Amino acid sequence: MSLSSRIFIGLFAGIATGLFFGEIVADLKVFGDVFIALLQMTVLPYIMVSLIAGFGRMKLDQAKRLAVRGSLLLLVIWGMALLLIFAASLAFPDLDTASFFSAVQPDAAEPTNLLELYVPANVFYSLSNNLVPAVVLFSILLGVALISVDYKSAVLPIVDGIAEALSRINSAMVQLTPYGIFAIAAAAAGTMTVEELGRVQVYLVTYIALSAVVTFWVFPGLVAAISGIPFREVLTTFRDPLVTTFATGNQFVVLPLIAEKCKELMRKHNRLGDDEESAIDIIVPVSFNFPSLGKLLVLLFVLFAAWFTDTSLSLGDHFSLAINGVLSLFGSINVAVPYLLDELRIPADMFQLFLVTGVIIGRFGATLAALHIIVISILGTLALGGMLRFEARALLRYGALTLLSCVLLVGLLRGYFAVFVPESPQRDAVLAQIELMDERVPAVVRTLVPDAPSTLPPGSRFDAIREAGVLRVGYRPANLPCSFMTDDGELVGFDVEMAHVLAEDLALGLEFVPFDYANLEALLSTGQIDVAMSCIAALPERFAMAGFSKPYLDLHLALIVPDHERARYRDPQNLPKGEDLRIALVGSHYFQSRVHRYFPGAQIVIIDGAEDFFTQPGLADAVVLSAEEGSAYTFRYPKFSVARPSTGGVSFPAAYAVPRGDTELRTLISSWVDLKERDGTIDALFGYWFHGGASAPRRPRWSVIRDVLGWVD
């Protein structure tokens, strides 16, 4: 049985296993990770030796002409391919995310060291740190330098021997592909939701449709437009190598056939001399070392991964993807894709999905790679002989038809996706369905503050709490994601859940009482509440109204701004000098000095709650919140985004407020926080409420073994 057949069996067996066992087989992902690592270990060394040998065999005059004319031709083809890829990404549907809110905003990434990325000052460092562009540049320079070395005939066999050894290692690892794909597919099918499976078709359908347009018009049409060789004749002549490539999924095996067909086409049009025949013999194998159309189209997956994970890409990110993508694709796509995902801060787990979908679209990619070699061979040979034709009428006709095909492609794909790609739940519906992980004790939720008791009972506050048998917890009603009301009137949130845990641990009943910062001190001192739990920043000025427990969270300072202005606020230098800004602070002046440091002359507006900023247009231009809280608010109000300064990030502690001077209660709550940190409760609840888990289905995903056979709970 052929390897490709075994890979497909592994793929379908993995999918069947995942659907049958569901989340039980999620741990098979570990074996998929091992397979990926084994597949990648020889790639960068192989890039080096193959490029060195490929260039080293050339003659100097051939290298010069190829460097000038071939480079220009490659740049044109790459540029057209990149434009087509970015145009095709416009077909991705505009769907809202189904998660509660985006993951907590990461710290500002350190700017990329372009010198380190592209210049191999220490090639061993570049190799060990997976700096693909630098490794490629070093290999090309060494190969070109080898052209004029007198005793290169003694060096090249050694390089070829190393390449052969690396190729054999890689071939051995490739034999593991059916098993690796099985593990990856089983883990993906066992954990991926139906909605996510529906969204994967966005990439598959777009890739296949774009491949068809490129194969049957864009590049055969380009050859016809500037060579004078009829469009149909180009496709007819190279039909056999293209079909063979699609059937085998391997463009390498058709290189001799491509060279033969290219000479046949040139001979038919009386353009084949000795120089042209030699040029074909050089261009066909050498072009195999350069990024092909099949490789470049994997950039479409990177754009899809950003769409799939709701990662926002700026214009600069697109430009970076184009440049870094071409350079990194000199090597293996199994190295380039993880590198590009990391550069754009897209979750690395998307590479697993790339490998699974790669089995399906791999044959289309191989066909495009063969088409790339065909186009380079024809146009490169004609360019070296000065036989290209540039007629305005032919070029205008070609450009108009290509533009029309792109418009039709995007329009038809968007229409298809509008019908067949599942919509996410509405944001209001998601918020309405959120519930506590575990409602541990019965709770009374008050929406109004009860009357204060006439006198406090004798003894300590904790004695009074135990005597009453009820813990009274203060909450802020609209403080996402710490404490807030759903549309159904249910009180939920991180600190609401923590209050349930505290009441359970103390064997007490639970009562929630609303508060704001204006009445916090009074409510604590009169006994109307015993502790306030609502992501309260333990700022110095607030110690005048309450005592605070040990911090239980570190929050990160951020600005919440209109979505279209987030880039301006991340770097204050982008804001016009002297611009009048109104920045809101919630219940405290503490961050006023820092705001003025970043935004001199800004007017400070103190508001009672963050909700005021979103519901009262014109109140302020931005509001200072933690990035964690801000992420939740931007889910409810999607026209706003979290903007963290690119430099000088600030974190601050959140703690629980208790009556001033009550050392016993403060110590009790602090010790309890320490226990909850040690037993993992805080981490579990943080993941649920701050990382979007609150909207995830509580029940295990559907599987045959659970939902059809009933063999497991």
Residue that is written with structure tokens 């003694």 in the block: 154
Q: Is the dihedral of CA 659, 663, 666, 669 positive or negative?
A: negative
Q: Which helix (H) or strand (E) covers residue 177, if one does?
A: helix 177-191
Domain boundaries, the chain: 3-420, 429-551+659-695, 553-653
Q: What is the pLDDT of residue 643?
A: 81
Residue 356: φ, ψ to 5° = -65, -50
Residue 383: φ, ψ to 5° = -65, -40
**Greatest CA span in the chain, whole angstroms?**
110
Q: What one-letter code names the amino acid at 693? A: G
Q: What is the pLDDT of residue 307?
A: 87
Whole-number Å distance between alpha carbons of 215 and 159: 35
- For 2: left if phi > 0, alpha if psi spans -120 to 50, otherwise beta; the answer is beta
Whole-number Å distance between alpha carbons of 498 and 520: 19
Instruction: Write out the two tokens for 83.
Output: 């434009």
Whole-number Å distance between alpha carbons of 191 and 127: 34
Whole-number Å distance between alpha carbons of 332 and 322: 16
**552, 654 Cβ separation under 8 angstroms:** yes
Asked if omega into 133 is within 30° of 0 (cis), the reply is no
Q: What is the pLDDT of residue 695?
A: 55
In sequence order, the 6+-apart residues with CB closer than 8 A to the CB of 345 are: 106, 109, 311
Q: Is the dihedral of CA 141, 143, 144, 150 positive or negative?
A: positive
Whole-number Å distance between alpha carbons of 171 and 188: 25
Whole-number Å distance between alpha carbons of 70 and 110: 36
- By C-alpha distance, which of 658, 661, 665, 659 is closest to 462? 665
pTM of the model: 0.61
| DSSP reduced 3-state for 636 | helix
Q: What angle do CA 248, 254, 258 make, to 5 degrees?
A: 140
Q: How many CB atoms lie within 10 A of CB 14?
A: 28
Class of domain 553-653: alpha beta
For the domain bounded by 3-420, which CATH number is listed?
1.10.3860
Please report which residue ranges of 89-151 form alpha helices under DSSP H: 114-118, 123-128, 132-147
Whole-number Å distance between alpha carbons of 178 and 13: 10
What's the CATH architecture for 429-551+659-695? Answer: 3-Layer(aba) Sandwich (3.40)
Q: Which helix (H) or strand (E) covers residue 407, if one does?
A: helix 392-420
**Residues of the chain scoring pLDDT < 70:** 3-4, 39-40, 43, 54, 58, 62-63, 66, 95-114, 192-198, 247-250, 252-253, 275, 282, 285-286, 289, 331-332, 349, 359, 422-433, 567, 570-579, 645-649, 692-701
Q: Which helix (H) or strand (E) covers residue 279, if one does?
A: helix 274-287
Q: Which helix (H) or strand (E) covers residue 171, if one does?
A: helix 152-174
Q: What is the pLDDT of residue 67?
A: 72
The DSSP code for 192 is -
Q: What is the pLDDT of residue 454?
A: 72
For the segment 372-418, what is each residue's pLDDT rounded down to a tens digit?
A: 989 998 998 888 778 888 889 999 999 999 999 999 999 999 999 88
Domains 3-420 and 553-653 share a fold: no
Q: What is the pLDDT of residue 675?
A: 96
Instruction: Write out the two tokens for 400.
Output: 């108009």
Q: What is the pLDDT of residue 579?
A: 63
Report how far apart the first and last C-alpha atoms of the chain are (Å, whole number): 39
For the segment 637-656, what is each residue's pLDDT rounded down to a tens digit?
A: 777 888 876 655 688 899 99
Whole-number Å distance between alpha carbons of 623 and 614: 9
The DSSP code for 693 is G
